[in-house]
Amino acid sequence: MEVAKALLNFKGKGFVGVVMGLSEDAAARTLDSANVPSFRFPEEAVRAIRYYTDKREPMQKMRIAEPIMGAKELVEGKTTLKDYEAFKLMEIYGIRVPAWAVVSNLDEAKKEAERIGFPLVMKISLDEPGHKTELGGVMTNVEKEDVENVFNQLALKSKRILLQKQLSGVEVFIGGLKDATFGPSILVGMGGVYVEVIKSVSYGLSPVSEQEGLQMLKESKVYDMLTARKRNYNINAVLRTLSRISRMIVDLDVKEMDINPLIVNQEGAFAVDVRIVF
């Protein structure tokens, strides 16, 4: 803790703090309160410094003065987005989502299920971002004969039910945050539960070009996942998604967000679960 306080004397001198072996939580809070980057392990600090110092001005950099038409109106006055609002925002920015619908009664559920196709994922639709799986609010592999029973179960937990086409592929994580030191930033790594287990994530300063996005995919090992065993998954779709999300973060002054998972297969990259906070 004393070391962390001493480091504050060097604020603004271009350094970061490593709090391993100290009273880590208290030391990190002290440094964070002064907008000094803090890391638990020296390896993390070295990676962050390396990426920052090696960062080159990309050949193509997007500079857009205004958000895409319709985006600002959708988010104005809100601190978070409902799941279906987040999907609409993805579509505005040209980011693909699985075929979806939000329903409030069984007749609608059956009709929309037929339109979307099977198998389905059916989820509770909440007003605030939350862990639907932990609430028992996600049902996968739903076939036509299951729709009524699943709808009735989920309707006990939520007045709205979200239907999505179930997809297969590699799960990728894309996140964004407004960092106190570096400003709008974007992250990419392995998705699903692996983002918390493997913790192989690459950071970029928004907005990023597709060229920068490719470097991030390789750094985070996502590129290896997409190309392993000659999968031929659509890497270009991931790069477009990264670039567009990085623009959206800047356009709309996003505080934090994540897409987890972004499912990637040969047909493209699809945002399955989206959380956004302003």
pLDDT in tens, 180-213: 888 999 999 998 766 665 567 899 999 999 999 9
Q: Among residues 220, 234, 227, 226, which one has the least CA distance to residue 174?
A: 220
Q: Please give the pLDDT value at position 3.
A: 57
CATH code at 99-165: 3.30.1490.20
Mean pLDDT on 82-109: 97
Calpha distance 71→173 (Å, rounded) = 22
CATH fold of 71-78+168-277: D-amino Acid Aminotransferase; Chain A, domain 1 (3.30.470)
Q: Among residues 186, 190, 159, which one has the least CA distance to residue 175?
A: 186
Calpha distance 2→4 (Å, rounded) = 5
Q: Among residues 100, 102, 95, 109, which one has the least CA distance to residue 164?
A: 100
Question: Mean pLDDT of all residues in the chain?
Answer: 87
Q: Among residues 173, 172, 219, 200, which one has the least CA distance to residue 51?
A: 219
Q: Among residues 27, 37, 32, 38, which one has the least CA distance to residue 3?
A: 27
pLDDT in tens, 231-251: 889 999 999 999 999 999 999
Calpha distance 88→52 (Å, rounded) = 33
Q: Tokens for 263? A: 């499912």
Each domain of the chain, given as residue ranges in start order, spans 2-54, 71-78+168-277, 99-165
Calpha distance 260→188 (Å, rounded) = 10
Global pTM value: 0.76
pLDDT in tens, 98-135: 999 999 999 999 999 999 999 999 999 988 877 788 88
